[in-house]
Structure 1
Amino acid sequence: MSVDALPSAERGLSRRLVEIVVALALMGLAGLVLWDSYGRGAGWEGGPQNGYFPARVGWLLMIAAAFALISAVRARRREIFVTWEQLRQVARVFVPLLLFVLGVAYLGIYISSLLFMALFMLTVGSFRLWTVAAASVLVPLVIFWVFEIQFLVPLPKSPFVATLGF
């Protein structure tokens, strides 16, 4: 079935486009590996230099990605890789997780965990407000007690938590 004949709910990213983007991303990664390898020395002077083996892997990755790119560009199939609705469901999980990871650097792990759990439980789950409040406060407190107090393993903290003396 052609993409144009699909109902709007069944439309999304084509497999061909996804394959092209992934092949280009892999070629970019291979380029970075090669650039770094040759910067370290990728030759053989009395033995392999630091970048010798990574350069060989980089070239293999570049060649494989080039073949994948050529194959994707030449393909005439028009099948859907992922529908827009499926992509929205992935984004509902991925975007909050990305914000959590970025938040750890600025807010510390405890406050970021509290916000992540509360927002995720409210938006994705169907929990009562008291359950959200209890879980999002108690879990970071338990993690703090286990890691900071019991195991003496410091985790990233916000300036607010640091002012409490920990």
Structure 2
Amino acid sequence: MTDHAHGDHATDSTEKTVTNRTMDVVVALAFMGLAAVVMSDSWRIGARWASDGPEAGYFPFYVGLLMFIASAGTLATALFTKHPDLGNFVDRSQLKSVMQVLVPTCIYVGLIFVLGIYLASAIFIAFFMWWLGKYPIAKIIPVSIGVPLMLFMMFEVWFLVPLPKGPLETALGY
């Protein structure tokens, strides 16, 4: 390989994606939005001090208010500092690693609603063992079936805590 080829590879893995400042702004705005929802709903259910003590939304309202103020401080710092952090938040190789976990996890969450938590978990575990772990099928099958089965026993049978069911559990009468 030529030196130019090595340079291109290094550029690919460290190429800028988004700055730390941009991520500070995005996360601060997201938390401010979440805090506003918490405060609004807490106010709706009652966030005042009643004759018998605090109403149901009193403490959540003030937690939301503190969260909003802290996030506003982060936002102001990110926007108005004289020396903003314009460093790279994540390089492409790091982003690829995160996405290799994030995308299948989002699919897993979606599958919970369609297949139920136990079957979706078996598929999720098997997929990760095969794709990222490179385990042989002889190890994948018992683990991907055994873990959801043990979770089923623990939650549904021993603790009597129902978790989201899918068509398989329904067909089996659970």
Question: What is the TM-score when the length of structure 1 is the normalising length?
Answer: 0.79
Deviations 1:80-134 (A, max 9, x none): 2222211221221222223223322221222112211121112111122333234
- Offset, 1:28: 0.3
In the alignment, which residue of structure 2 is the partner of 1:108? Answer: 116
**How many residue pairs align between the two structures?**
160
Gaps of 5+ in 1: 1-5
CA RMSD of aligned residues (A): 2.6
- What amino acid maps onto 1:137 in structure 2? I
Preserved contact between residue 108 and residue 124 of structure 2 (Cα < 8 Å): yes
In the alignment, which residue of structure 2 is the partner of 1:162? Answer: 170
- What amino acid maps onto 1:88 in structure 2? K
- Offset, 1:61: 2.0
**1:17 paired residue among 9, 18, 22:** 22
In the alignment, which residue of structure 2 is the partner of 1:7? Answer: 11
Question: What is the TM-score when the length of structure 2 is the normalising length?
Answer: 0.76
Q: After TM superposition, which residue ranges in structure 1, 4 or more long, deviate above 6 angstroms?
A: none
Whole-angstrom distance in 1 between the partners of 2:17 and 2:107 = 25
In the alignment, which residue of structure 2 is the partner of 1:3? Answer: none
Deviations 1:37-91 (A, max 9, x none): 2212333443433333333332222222111101111243311222221122122
- What amino acid maps onto 2:67 in structure 1? L
Identity of aligned residues (%): 39
Whole-angstrom distance in 1 between the partners of 2:101 and 2:92 = 15
- Offset, 1:142: 4.4
In the alignment, which residue of structure 2 is the partner of 1:33? Answer: 38
SS of 2:61's equivalent in the other structure is: helix
Whole-angstrom distance in 2 between the partners of 1:48 and 1:146 = 37
In the alignment, which residue of structure 1 is the partner of 2:59? Answer: 53
- Offset, 1:157: 2.8
Gaps of 5+ in 2: 1-9
